């Protein structure tokens, strides 16, 4: 065992078949709105319930992790999940953890927008390209260009350092490829680039 799993057709493993697969993709794409909600309304919501913004994010994470723990304890899956997720942390939970860590550790539009959009848009793109039978080399090329577009928009709109945009786009692409048994690419595609952002941030000075 090398800790990796083979690629499978996501429709075949989704509870609900194609409809479950489409729901899963829809949820993935809807994550694109999370940075807008966080930056536009996060402080207001946190103030309304008497928490700091970090405490609000941490509370949502704790609720999500507790719910996932209960789901795993019972051992069930819901419509749109994959059958193997009955016995391991789901892709949705991994995505929630990744996004939550971005808001806790890199709470600035220069990083949060491109990191989260790389996951919410890039991951489904790569999955659908593979499902259509595109060669791996072409998947890598197309997805890198798409991710680069996301990071360049962040550079133009939010002041993301250009050199970091050029570096992080291929890193996000590569972070999706490991086929780990228990860690979903929803985690690796956010947490690996996030770690690199935090390492490089002292040289960029965006969050000072």
pLDDT digits (tens, 9 = 90+) for 17-46: 677 778 878 988 999 999 999 999 999 999
Examine the pLDDT at 179 and tell me if it is beyond 80: no
Among 63-67, 129-133, 154-158, the least confident range? 129-133
The reported pLDDT for the residue numbered 11 is 64
- Total domains present in the chain: 1
Q: Which of 119, 137, 133 is nearest to 31 (CA)?
A: 119
pLDDT band (50, 70, 90) for residue 12: low
Q: Residue 180 carries which DSSP code?
A: B
Instruction: Note whether residue 146 is domain-resident.
Output: yes
66-118: per-residue pLDDT in tens? 999 998 888 877 776 777 777 888 888 999 999 999 999 999 999 999 999 99
pLDDT tops 70 at residue 187: yes
Distance CA 191, CA 202 (A): 18
How far, rounded to the nearest angstrom, does the alpha carbon of residue 48 sit from its chain's CA centroid? 28
Alpha helices in the chain (DSSP H): 10-13, 17-30, 34-48, 53-74, 91-105, 109-117, 123-131, 136-158, 162-175, 185-204
Calpha distance 192→87 (Å, rounded) = 24
Is 26 a member of any domain? Answer: yes
Is the CB of residue 105 less than 8 Å from the CB of residue 134? no
How much is the pLDDT for 31? 95
Residue 4 neighbours by CB distance under 10 Å: 10
Q: What pLDDT, on a 0 to 100 scale, did the predictor assign at position 17? A: 66
pLDDT number for residue 87:
82
The answer to whether residue 25 sits within a structural domain is: yes
| Token reading at 121 | 């848009």
Residue-level pLDDT at 56? 98
**Does residue 1 fall inside a structural domain?**
no
Residues 6+ apart with CB under 8 A from 92: 27, 81, 186
**Distance between CA atoms of 155 and 162, rounded to whole angstroms?**
6
Q: Is residue 102 part of a domain?
A: yes
The mean pLDDT value of the chain amounts to 90
CB 91 within 8 A of CB 176: no
What is the reported pLDDT for 3?
A: 46
**Which percentage of the chain shows pLDDT scores above 70?**
90
Task: Give Dmax (Cα) for the chain.
Answer: 51
Report yes or no: 38 and 59 within 8 Å, Cβ to Cβ: no
pLDDT (mean) for 146-158: 98
Examine residue 67 and state whether it is found in any structural domain, yes or no: yes
Nearest to 57 by CA among 100, 3, 23, 95: 100
**How is residue 33 annotated by DSSP?**
G
> Residue 155 above 60 pLDDT?
yes
Query: Domain range for residue 39?
Result: 10-200
Mean pLDDT, rounded, for 129-149: 95
Q: Is residue 4 part of a domain?
A: no
Q: Band of the pLDDT at 133, cuts 50, 70, 90?
A: very high
């Amino acid at each position: 065992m090398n800790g990796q799993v083979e690629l499978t057709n996501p429709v075949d493993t989704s509870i609900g078949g194609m409809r479950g697969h489409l729901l899963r993709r829809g949820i993935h794409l809807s994550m694109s709105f999370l940075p807008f909600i966080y930056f536009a309304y996060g402080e207001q919501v946190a103030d309304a319930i008497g928490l700091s913004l970090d405490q609000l994010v941490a509370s949502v994470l704790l609720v999500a992790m507790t719910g996932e723990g209960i789901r795993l304890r019972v051992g069930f899956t819901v419509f749109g999940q994959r059958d193997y997720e009955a016995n391991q942390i789901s892709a949705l939970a991994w995505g929630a953890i990744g996004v939550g860590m971005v808001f806790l550790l890199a709470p600035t539009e220069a990083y949060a927008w491109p990191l989260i959009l790389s996951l919410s848009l890039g991951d489904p793109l790569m999955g659908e390209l593979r499902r259509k039978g595109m060669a791996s080399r072409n998947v890598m090329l197309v997805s890198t260009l798409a991710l680069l577009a996301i990071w360049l928009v962040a550079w133009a709109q939010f002041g993301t350092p250009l050199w970091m945009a050029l570096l992080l786009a291929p890193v996000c692409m590569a972070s999706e490829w490991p086929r780990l048994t228990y860690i979903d690419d929803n985690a690796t595609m956010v947490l690996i680039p996030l770690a690199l952002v935090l390492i490089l941030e002292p040289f960029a000075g965006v969050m000072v």
